[in-house]
Amino acid sequence: MLGLLLGLAVSFQIPSAKIDVPLYYSHEQSVCDAKNSACFYNSSENNVDFLLDNWIIADHRTQDFKTLYKVEAGDTAYIINDDGSVLNLECIEVCEGTVDEYGYIYVDNDYMENRYEDVYIAYTCKKQKDKRLITYWKEIEE
């Protein structure tokens, strides 16, 4: 995914939730804050050794992820690169997480990133300030 490495926009699509948002290879809050823009980064970039290596996709619940709550396990999603290649994903879990005072998100007393290995995690804020809606996705052959 050369476009991702260069910071270029690619598309994250979840047909069941009518989500189609450009992804930018960044974990900067300003990218997430911008309209029609979601962050896409690897959890290993947090420079901590206690998180598994997973891909994170984040956006606000009042913007492009406003319908993320419609996603269910078994739904499909796609990451479409700037060269037209497609990564096919299947949702394996939808759950709620809680944010601690340092900004880490927990699910069942462990870090959000440690629930599964080698997955894509798309998440957004909930109305409650310390809660997050989290969706886990695995790569599938199509």
pLDDT tier, 3 (very low <50, low <70, confident <90, very high otherwise): very low
Picking from 123, 105, 122, the residue whose alpha carbon sits closest to that of residue 114 is 105
Residues whose CB falls within 8 Å of the CB of residue 14, separated by 6 or more in sequence, listed in order: 68, 71, 75, 76, 77, 122
> Could you read off the pLDDT of 9-37 as tens digits, one per residue?
589 999 999 999 999 888 888 888 888 88
Burial group, residue 97, by CB count within 10 angstroms (0-12, 13-18, 19+): buried
Query: Number of structural domains, the chain?
Result: 1
Summarised one tens digit per residue, pLDDT across range 91-106 is 999 999 999 988 889 9
Print the domain residue range for 64.
2-139
- Residue pLDDT, tens place only, 42-83: 887 766 667 788 899 999 888 999 999 999 999 999 999 888
Q: Please report the pLDDT score of residue 38 as a whole number.
A: 92
Mean of all residue pLDDT scores within the chain: 87
Q: For the chain, what is the HEC assignment?
A: CHHHHCCCCEEEEEHHHCEEEEEEEECCHHHHHCCCCEEEEEHHHHCCCCCCCCEEEECCCCCCCCCHHHCCCCCEEEEECCCCCEEEEEEEEEEEEEECCCCCEEECCEEHHHCCCCCEEEEEECCCCCEEEEEEEEECCC
Phi, psi of 20 (to 5 degrees): -150, 100
- CATH number of the domain within which 57 lies: 2.40.260.10
- pLDDT score recorded for residue 93: 97
